[in-house]
Structure 1
Amino acid sequence: MKNLFLFIFVLLLSFICLGCTNENHVATLKEPTETVIELEKVYMEMREIAWASLSDTDKETVMGNWKDAKVTEEQLSVNDEVQPDNNPMKVMKVIFNTSRDRFLGPIGIYINPNTNKIISRDVRM
């Protein structure tokens, strides 16, 4: 009889511990959502900086809403080789698709996310 009570006690204790674990898991699920929202704010800021740098002529050729421009994180490279130091510079690239993409390619603007300054642009031929 004592063994039965001990077994039930251990079983109930296990369920209580699992319940606490699930509660903590739910709390950690909220964190990535906040991170995604913060990341989208950074992306929108990069779009605004890139958009402000375009000439009126380039703005007229942008297809779609500029607020939907693609933003990617890139590593600074020279001749397609990552810099040899241990911490290569990470930059944000904003890509605007234009009506002239077929002839010149899209507009690509590289921005330093730490200083919010434009570092470079893709060559359009």
Structure 2
Amino acid sequence: MKGFKLIYLPFILFFVLCGCQQQVLNDKEEQKVKEAKSNLTQTLDVREAVWGQLTEKEKEHIAGSWKDASVQKITLRESMGQIKDKTFIGKEVYMVDYPSEDSPSLGGIGVYADIKSHRIIGFGYRD
């Protein structure tokens, strides 16, 4: 009877270790999903945060609301517009692009914002 149990011990250990490994993989995958959702939420929030900092006069040129804006991360260059805070030049920032009610040749209204604070740091040129 004792020999019978020892034969199955390696198999039992194998299955237990496989189960532990799978749990570790599941935990890592769950963490990646949480991080992706967090990044998406932060990206969506920047549109509204920047919208709240715009003046009523600036908003008059925007078609729709903050929900209509698109967001992307870019590396800011001085030649990209009127940059209020020059310390962000060469760094990654959000560019929030609001559609405009003005002439289509002018394009949308691009606003640069700090990734951490969502504070407006400048505006893009319009054609």
Settle same-fold status: TM greater than 0.5: yes
Answering whether residue 43 of structure 2 is matched by residue 38 of structure 1, we say: no
State the distance in 1 between where 2:32 and 2:68 align.
Answer: 22
Inter-CA distance 68–20: structure 2 relative to 1 (3 Å threshold):
farther
Partner Cα separation in structure 2 for residue 54 and residue 92 of structure 1? 15
Q: 1:91 aligns with which of 90, 93, 104?
A: 93
SS of 2:10 mapped into structure 1: helix
Offset at residue 64 of structure 1 (A): 4.7
What's the TM-score, normalizing by structure 1? Answer: 0.69
> What is the number of residues matched between the two proteins?
117
Equivalent residues of 2:50, 2:118 under 8 A apart: no
User: Who is 1:106 aligned against?
Assistant: 108
Deviation at 1:26, TM superposition (A): 1.6
Counterpart mapping for 1:17-36 below 5 A: 17-36=17-36
Higher relative contact order (CA 8 A, sep 6+): 2
The runs of 5 or more residues in structure 1 that have no matched partner are 81-87
RMSD of aligned alpha carbons? 3.0
Report the 3-state secondary structure (helix = DSSP H, G, I; strand = E; otherwise coil) of the residue aligned with 1:120: strand
3-state SS of the aligned residue for 2:111? Answer: strand
Residue in structure 1 matched with residue 86 of structure 2 by the alignment: none
Q: Are 1:14 and 2:14 an aligned pair?
A: yes
TM-score, length-normalised on structure 2? 0.68
* TM superposition shift of 1:61: 4.8
Deviation at 1:11, TM superposition (A): 2.8
Counterpart residue identity of residue 113, structure 1: I
Question: Secondary structure of 2:112's partner?
Answer: strand
**Structure 1 residue 97, shift from structure 2 partner:** 1.9
What residue in structure 2 maps to residue 83 of structure 1? none
More moved, 20-29 vs 46-55: 46-55
Other-structure match for 1:84: none
